[in-house]
Copies of this chain bind each other. A is one copy, B any other.
Amino acid sequence: MKEQIQKIVILGTGNVATHLGQSFRRAGLDVIQVYGRRRSAAARLAGLLGASYTSDLSELNPESDLYLIAVSDDAIASVAEAFPLQDKLLAHTSGSIGLDALSPAGSHSAVFYPLQTFSTGRETDISRVPFCLETKLDADLQKLQGLAARLTTHVYHISSEHRRLLHLAAVFACNFTNHMYAVAEEMITAQGLPFDMLCPLITETAAKALAASPRAAQTGPAVRQNKGVMAKHLELLSGHPDYQKIYEIVSQSIINLQEKD
């Protein structure tokens, strides 16, 4: 029988640590310990997960099958450097950091990246989340595949290069999309109109893009090259130079993408 991951130590106490920890627990895995720089944050998450906790890396439980670093990108390298155990499977959860950031940990370094946006207080259906895995050793890949398969049906073996690309694509599809919503929200709420009016449109736009291809689903003045409407919109945006620039550049990009066909 193949060796399986059952015991997990989580290093980190933020949204990713919390959501993954809860998902592990629901899947019947044992989160045995939580490490956090701040003792109170480690205690809080450990309490949620029925784990012990520490704020001292030298006190890490050496009996775990996996040590999962779920801290901010900037902090990954320093946690990896200070990681005191030898020959342990050590993975980070970041989209933009290479496998090599964990090299102080030796050959058992890995990536366990969930391609999703996690927020405090919002449940996520982890079974639909794609997990992007990368390891140095095949045996570690098999272990992480087994672990991810307990959470989701969407498990991918992805190189650091492709993972960085996915993370960049996610910035467009998630962070930039959200800013488009935020601009719309600011414009209409400033005039006393409720943001709720845009909800069905936002939901339908996402559903439509997913049902087909976003490129094929493009609508609006830019793709129709309706110059009259576009000029009026730029005029309406005259008090918002940031939004004017976005309007011009995104409209031009829509036109350019269409003309590539």
Contact = CB atoms under 8 A, between A and B. Distances in A.
Nearest to A170: B201
Specify the main secondary structure of chain A where it touches its partner.
helix
Q: How many copies does the complex hold?
A: 2
A73 interface: yes
Interface stretch (A33-41, A61-69, A246-254): A246-254
A59 interface: no
A26 interface: no
B168 A215 contact: no
Interface residues of A, number: 89
Interface in A204-232: 204-206, 208-211, 213-215, 217-224, 226, 228-229, 232
A141 B159 CA distance: 60
Contact of A253 (B122, B177, B219, B242): B242
Interface of A: 72-74, 96, 115-117, 119, 122, 124-125, 128-130, 154, 156, 158, 162, 164-166, 168-188, 191, 193, 195, 197-206, 208-211, 213-215, 217-224, 226, 228-229, 232-233, 236-237, 242-243, 245-247, 249-250, 252-254, 256-257
22 contacts: A74-B228, A96-B229, A117-B201, A117-B205, A117-B219, A119-B208, A122-B208, A165-B236, A168-B187, A168-B233, A169-B187, A171-B220, A171-B233, A174-B220, A177-B206, A179-B250, A179-B253, A182-B209, A185-B215, A186-B215, A246-B249, A249-B249
